[in-house]
Amino acid sequence: MKNKKVLLMTLLIAVLLSSCMKNNAKDDLTLTTEYSNVELTTQAGSELNTEIQTKPENVTAPTASVLPAGSNSTVLGNGKTYTGKASLPLQSFKIKDPENTRGLSEKLNGYGFGVAKDGKANEISVNNQKYFESKNFNALCLDRKSTQKVLYLTFDCGYENGYTAKILDVLKEKKVTAAFFCTLPEVKENPEIIARMINEGHIVGNHSVNHPSFPEITRTKMAEEIKGMDDYLRTNFGYSEPYFRFPKGEYSDSALDLVGSLGYKCVFWSLAYSDWDLNNQKGADYAFDTVTARLHPGAVILLHAVSPDNANALARIIDYAEENGYTFKSLRDCP
């Protein structure tokens, strides 16, 4: 009889434990994505919360989930970083309205800026900036607020072919600060160049982990792409700044909203040319003539660091701009 009671108690405990495990399985939804030792985890249930914001009637307030701070980022060992700075703590990312319950447009927009001339921004760029401001998106393509002839110099960096160091030499000589938007592979493969950018006062902007088209992925995946890059910079370079550029320049209202909600400024441009095609380089004179002909107050200039033409023309471009009353500013100084 005693053995039967023990057996019954054992069975009862097993049933209770099984029930608890099933209930916990419903509450804890874990999403883990690994980017070469950068692990991102989203836990649903206990960390879900609701954000209240201005919304149309009869629309449910969007839910926010959380990408918590990770713990498995690659480290150099003994707290070392490529910059010599202390590693920064990783940050939790709150994903506002992960399912886009507000119905923000998810239409893929290819970014267009128009060709500026006669010292004036193209109307397309002007209207782009007006649209960003009207929707309260934290996005910049043209500085419409500064009263001075300011310029913001930015570079996209997807890979390294030997010209970035020369560009950095020119910027150092001319005392100009720029922003370099880099993907995670670029950062991992060229840590010394990235460390130099940071230590010389430039911005290393977030250009995502895998360079996907943001309108084609979920809002949660967008946050993972940004967080993976941010985690790596924090751990290995002791660095983080809230500037983001959409891969391929492709965006949507939903993507703009999501990136802004993470505290990032989306940086587009109002001046660029086809400098990225290495099979169609036309010489330093062409780069100089093209860029200087399109200068305008408040311009955000996009160049590609892989272009030999840009590297060879950059000093002349800076000199010409300054001789004509322009001042190069950091994105940090943009109002």
The residues assigned a catalytic role are: 156, 304
Phi, psi of 311 (to 5 degrees): -60, -40
CA–CA dist 38, 15 (Å, integer): 38
Kindly give the interhelix angle for 284-293 and 308-323, rounded to the nearest 10 degrees: 40
